[in-house]
A = this chain, B = another copy of it.
Amino acid sequence: MSDLVELGNAVGTAQKVGNLVGVFAFGVSGALLAVRRNFDVVGIAVLAVCTATGGGILRDLIIGETPPTAFVHVSYAATALLAAALIFFWHPPHRVTRTPLLMADGVGLGIFCVTGTVSAFQHGLPATSAAALGVVTAVGGGVVRDVLAGITPSVLSDGELYAVPALLGSAATAVLLHHGQYTYWTGGLAGAGAVVLRFLALWRHWRAPLARPHRRRDPA
């Protein structure tokens, strides 16, 4: 029994560490985009922080948890600023950063979709809405990043399977919560499933389908 408790605590710690890994990865992705868009040092710092905390802030505003967690615990912004500082001084070429960044981002995606769903459910939202907010938590930061950087949000347009793993992880978490079966273990499994699915999608180049294209484009 006490072995299980210890293991449970270890999983809780793993979740906190994973959370910061995700924040760091999202921060790096924001800072890298800012550098590519020729933003100044302020833009790099702001884009790193907004990417890393944007999803969670959106979720907290929607469930009425004010001030949002990211404004109460300084560790989030500090981790994102660390990522920004690293990228400001050392922004290695795309071919070096691509794989580790995708992996860290995938881990963040898996963790955020679970923790986001749990937060929302604990605030009394129905399971369906909680799952939707898990997706908002996981992909919202990237949307904020892209809107601030003036590009079309990649999650909406680039055809990669990015929101779908988050949706499945969130849905699994919501089902667990709804049936009272959510524990660190089952929640961890849901998150790991999302991460594995994301990695499989990257590895096997799975694509989200596009609608059959128009023959003639209408003016937007």
Chain A residues with a Cβ closer than 8 Å to the other chain, count: 68
Query: B220 contacts A42, CB within 8 Å?
Result: no
What are 27 pairs between A and B in contact, CB < 8 Å? A36-B220, A37-B157, A38-B210, A38-B213, A40-B157, A40-B159, A40-B209, A41-B209, A41-B210, A42-B155, A42-B162, A42-B164, A43-B157, A44-B211, A46-B156, A46-B163, A47-B156, A61-B61, A62-B66, A64-B64, A64-B66, A71-B125, A77-B132, A91-B214, A93-B216, A150-B152, A150-B153
Please report A residues at the B interface, Cβ cutoff 8 Å.
Answer: 33-44, 46-47, 57, 61-64, 66-68, 71-72, 74, 77, 87-89, 91, 93-94, 120, 123, 125-126, 128-129, 132-133, 143, 147-153, 155-159, 162-164, 207-214, 216-218, 220
Query: A37 contacts B152, CB within 8 Å?
Result: yes
Docked pose: A127 CA to B63 CA in angstroms = 24
The one of B42, B61, B143, B208 that contacts A156, using a Cβ cutoff of 8 Å: B42
